[in-house]
Amino acid sequence: MEEIIRIENLFFNYPDGQQALTSVSLTIYRGETVAFLGPNGAGKSTLLLHLNGILRSNGIVKVFGKPIDEDNLRDVRSKVGLVFQNPDDQLFSPTVFDDVAFGPINLGYSKAEVEQSVTRALNWVGMTGYEQRSPHHLSLGEKKRIAVATVLSMNPEVLVIDEPSSNLDPRSKWSLMSLLKRLPMTMIIASHDLELVQALCKRAIILDQGQVVADSATEQILSDMPLLRAHGLAPSELSE
């Protein structure tokens, strides 16, 4: 299999001294659907932010065989699209069209290419016809779809999504999951939603206290109740 992302011995401390990642090593291959599982504060979001260079620290992070540095940053960000947990962190333009067009414009697409990319991305997420709507007046589920479209418009090879189902009602959650399941690219999803992970991801990696504590087939991970309980991903057994 083709190696897409390689992380070796990655450490990260926040400015206040809090250690977020400790000696993380893993490899992602083309075509995989991988879940980063773990409780809040496990380091999932911090790890995602290293995958397209928003955060950089001690250790090795290579994307398509190249280290993430100033020379490669633009190319990496065109190939690895990151969707934030809160869509309001991603949507800042007056119209949906402007938000979805932002990435292609900054990559130097022509006007015709920008329009084509926006049309394709909105069609992909089922939001055709929303081009002139204000993203700030949409529902949370609609905002999450538009946030995904802002990344898809750049035609990435890897889609990285942080907590896609957070705060969604059941209908919006299943609608978004159906959308993600149809996407053809390599996908990395950080979540503690086991239902979503089971539906979308073939491989699961558990992070806890900034460390990789398990990495296996999703079916195997989710069937190991003692492992899930030990890392805050399943209810503790109730005493009688």
Please give the helix or strand (H or E) that residue 112 lies within, else none.
helix 111-124
Provide the pLDDT for residue 236: 65
Cα 214 → chain centroid = 19
Q: What is the pTM of this model?
A: 0.92
Q: Is 123 helix (H, G, I), strand (E, B) or coil?
A: helix
Other Cβ atoms closer than 10 A to 240: 3
Mean pLDDT over 230-235 rounds to: 87
Given a cut of 70, is residue 97 above it in pLDDT? yes
> What's the rounded Cα separation, in Å, for the pair 44 and 59?
16
Averaged pLDDT of the chain: 92
Provide the pLDDT for residue 205: 97
Domains and CATH numbers, the chain: 3-230 (3.40.50.300)
Given a cut of 90, is residue 5 above it in pLDDT? yes
> What's the rounded Cα separation, in Å, for the pair 60 and 190?
20
- Torsion 23-4-231-55 (CA) sign: positive
